[in-house]
Amino acid sequence: MKICIIGTGYVGLVTGPCLAELGNVITCVDNNEDKIKQLKEGVIPIYEPGLDEIIHRNVEQGRISFTTSIEEGVKKSDIIFIAVSTPPKPNGQADLSSVANVAQQVAYSMDSYKVIVDKSTVPVKTGEKVAETIKRYNKHNIDFDVVSNPEFLREGSAVMDFMHPDRIVIGVTSQRAAKIMTELYEPLGAQIMITNIKSAEIIKHASNSFLAMKISFANELASVCELAGADIEEVVAGMGSDSRIGRAFLNAGIGYGGSCFPKDVSAFIRIAEDLGHDFHILKEVERINREQRERFIKKIEDTLWVVKDKQIGILGLAFKPNTDDMRSAPSIDIINHLQAEGASIRAYDPEAMKVAEKLLEDVMFCKDPYEVADGSDALVICTEWDEFKNIDLERIRKLLTHPIIIDGRNIFVPGDMDRNGFLYKSIGR
Ligand code: UDX
């Protein structure tokens, strides 16, 4: 099929090339001229395992092209994906101006029946608005259908997630569009769920909010375990093996971050509010997530007693492992707070230091965990990189001024750490 993807951000640049890999012909459109120029020269602006290869192969075989012209992309294609960003406004609502603008331009450019697919994360009822907009600006009354097809891609495994999804959600108002979208995704062999457009839109926000809720539940549970003398790792293993609950997203830690969960939970609270419903439980999810960071900071302070003039080493800056993404990373709040209390900070992250340098001031960025530990009064683990799990603990202990590790991601076993001579504090154990 011939497909136009508008927006070469994270979602568009994974969706387009993966659809090309399935044999479709893709035109990727972006209004950022530099980005399109770079893509034409083979420079891929994001890092995702496997993505470079897929893009280069499909460009070579003539299945992907890049342009800044929506008109060109729309005229060449049968299916148009809108994959532009919907950043949060200060009040938590999603800013839909890019979606609206693209819908208008698609309408101007249409010359035959098109399926217009919303892939961006948007509030429920956006599909209706997109359809109204296209109708209004589509002067020749060309036939079209609007579809909602939310994405569930995780950073670091987006290509795998696209190729092996748990389910594909397709919200439609017409059988014609349902048939075209089913044919498009059939090669993946995954479960395809046809719903109405509003349900599809809600599925996206509900899924991310539910996962965030699981994490906040685990974090609350961790506090109870600490007070009771239980072990959160044993508790979530026991709970998670009930197939109705599941083990995934029950890891207690320092709270969720990243570009999706904080934004989507907050947006969903606003969406419900606008519809006249107070989504109490999600407000609690947000509060717990905020407090989890504060509790962790307090744990550091309680362990060190006075933070002022101490040197604290931070291992891990990215919001999760295998990415350089620092958006809403808990490490930022933690470092800012410790600095405000008068601590000096050394830090190391395998991928995120270049990004972190722009966000954090007065941090000494180190070449490895050992340089971080050298002369530090304590080590604080903020991201569970595999590199840290295999660290030489004996060497670390000798380099630290005091053998203290405060672990926000539970990467070590407390008994082992005691035997290795550490004062080891973790979450919920
Ligand atoms: C998430 C969703 O998983 C994905 O479906 C959606 O499309 C985008 O948002 P992502 O933000 O890439 O993906 O990361 P994810 O792996 O889901 O982790 C999100 C945050 O939750 C991270 O900060 C992570 O550290 C935290 N987390 C995750 C926990 O604290 N505990 C867990 O058990 C799982």
With cut-offs at 50, 70 and 90, classify the pLDDT of residue 356: very high
Instruction: Convert the pLDDT of each residue in 305-323 to its tens digit.
Output: 999 999 999 999 999 998 8
319 Cβ below 6 A of ligand 1: yes
Mean pLDDT of 145-165: 96
For residue 139, the model assigns a pLDDT of 86
Mean pLDDT of 97-125: 97
Nearest atom in ligand 1 to 151's CA: 7
Nearest atom in ligand 1 to 161's CA: 5
- For 378, the 3-state DSSP assignment is strand
For residue 84, the model assigns a pLDDT of 97
Q: Which residue's CA lies nearest to atom 7 of ligand 1?
A: 152
With cut-offs at 50, 70 and 90, classify the pLDDT of residue 162: very high
For residue 292, the model assigns a pLDDT of 97
Instruction: Convert the pLDDT of each residue in 50-69 to its tens digit.
Output: 999 999 999 999 999 999 99
Q: What is the CA(211)–ligand 1 centre distance, in A?
A: 8
Q: What is the CA(426)–ligand 1 centre distance, in A?
A: 20
Percent of the chain with pLDDT over 70: 100
Ordered domains of the chain (ranges, CATH): 2-195 (3.40.50.720), 204-285 (1.10.1040.10), 291-425 (3.40.50.720)
Mean pLDDT of 131-160: 95
Q: Which residue's CA lies nearest to atom 3 of ligand 1?
A: 154
DSSP string, 132-181: HHHHHH-TT---EEEEE----PPTTSHHHHHHS-S-EEEE-S-HHHHHHH
Cross-strand partners of 25: 2
4 is known as an active-site residue: no
Mean pLDDT of 141-162: 96
Phi and psi dihedrals of 346, rounded to 5?
-110, 145
For residue 254, the model assigns a pLDDT of 98
Sign of CA dihedral 16, 102, 166, 351: positive
Q: What is the CA(235)–ligand 1 centre distance, in A?
A: 21
Q: Which residue's CA lies nearest to atom 16 of ligand 1?
A: 154
pLDDT at 347 over 90: yes
d(CA 78, CA 301): 59
Strand 64-67 and strand 79-82: pairing?
A: unpaired
d(CA 18, CA 198): 26
* Size of the chain, expressed as the number of residues it contains: 429
Mean pLDDT of 1-30: 97
Instruction: Convert the pLDDT of each residue in 380-413 to its tens digit.
Output: 999 999 999 999 999 999 999 999 999 999 999 9
251 Cβ below 6 A of ligand 1: yes
pLDDT, averaged across the chain: 97
Instruction: Convert the pLDDT of each residue in 64-92 to its tens digit.
Output: 999 999 999 999 999 999 999 999 899 88
Q: Please give the C-alpha separations between residue 166 and each of 10, 115, 192, in angstroms, as whole numbers.
A: 20, 24, 9
Cross-strand partners of 80: 4, 116
- For 4, the 3-state DSSP assignment is strand
Q: What is the CA(256)–ligand 1 centre distance, in A?
A: 7
- For 376, the 3-state DSSP assignment is coil
For residue 91, the model assigns a pLDDT of 87
Among the options 18, 260, 366, 382, which is catalytic? Answer: 260
CB within 8 Å of 80: residues ≥ 6 apart: 3, 4, 6, 73, 74, 106, 114, 115, 116, 117
- For 72, the 3-state DSSP assignment is helix
Percent of the chain with pLDDT over 90: 95
Locate 324 and state its tokens.
Answer: 């350089």
Locate 239 and state its tokens.
Answer: 């709970």
For residue 46, the model assigns a pLDDT of 86
